Amino acid sequence: MKYTDAHIHLSDPEYKQKTEQVIKDAKQAGVVALVSNSVNLETSKKSLQLAQDRKDFVYAALGIHPWNVSKLAPNELEQTIELIQNAVNAKAIVAVGEIGTDPQYAKNRQQKDQQAQVFQHTLKTAETLQLPAIIHSRWSAPKILETLPSYKLRGVLWHWFSTPTEILPKITARGDYVSEGPPTTFSDRTKEVIKLVPLENLLTETDGPVHYYDPAFKDRPTTPAFIPEVVKAIAEIKKVKEDEAAEQIHRNFTTLFGI
């Protein structure tokens, strides 16, 4: 079976000394591709380099995470957008991400407005360059759902979607994708999302280096090698064969990212 990790932060400092081992373990587990998501200009540059160094396995998504918006250096947004534009010309990028809004990282109205502005600029970049957008939507999903129709995007991935589940039919009706990770094996909330999202709209992720504290993952560094366990859980929830789930998720990955 072929597995994919649509959302991992391989450019995170925690992976710096472990990159080769992470990739080796992933391949041994049957993972055939992963998307290295970025959170600022520095990690965007690193994700791009990882993709260039490990073609046909690591793919880059460049962007600015909402938790970094209030800490942006002067011209960092403009430089990140320029980097994305250059990467498209070099055919070295598959998405704009991770981008979005999150009120947890906005202490006041000014920071909320700044998040919205950065999100709008990066969405516009994704639209102009016809790249998929990888969305962070914690506690802001309804507002983001209202925003997205203003842009003609090639595709949208709602990364680690949690709530409110009531809007999931609208998300999937748009043709958007939803990615879920290790919590699929132990979280009732995530299992409910899996039940509500058609298999044709699902992708798998780890969001590494995020650590999980369920006994099945506790004390294990997060790597794409977790993905087979996620797919197995999805197959059980969807009541389909494991290879059927893996095949459809792989097809979804290649369709969204054009790989």
Every domain of the chain and the residues it spans: 3-257
Segment 25-44 mean pLDDT: 98
Q: What is the pLDDT of residue 117?
A: 98
The pLDDT of residue 202: 98
**Stated pTM of the model:** 0.98
Residue 17: predicted pLDDT: 94
pLDDT at residue 222 tops 90: yes
**Nearest by Cα to 256 from 115, 126, 74, 99:** 126
pLDDT > 90 in the chain, percent? 98
Residue 90's pLDDT band, with cuts at 50, 70 and 90, is confident
Burial per residue of 3-40, b for 16 or more beta-carbon CB atoms within 10 angstroms, e otherwise? bbbbbbbbbbeebeeebeebbebbeebbbbbbbbbbbb
The helix/strand/coil state of 183 is: helix
Does residue 29 register a pLDDT over 90?
yes
Res 70 pLDDT > 90: yes
Q: How far apart are the first and last CA of the chain?
A: 17
Q: Average pLDDT in the 51-66 region?
A: 97
Confidence of residue 220 (pLDDT cuts 50, 70, 90): very high
State mean pLDDT over 94-119.
97
**CB of 132 closer than 8 Å to CB of 92:** no
Q: Which residue has the higher pLDDT, 92 or 22?
A: 22
Q: CA–CA separation, 134 vs 226, rounded Å?
A: 21
* Side chain identity, residue 60: A
Amino acid at residue number 46: K
| pLDDT 10s digits, 147-187 | 999 999 999 999 999 999 999 999 999 999 999 999 999 99
CATH class, domain 3-257, is: alpha beta
Other C-beta atoms closer than 10 Å to the C-beta of 248 total 20
Strand ranges inside 63-140, DSSP E: 95-100, 133-136
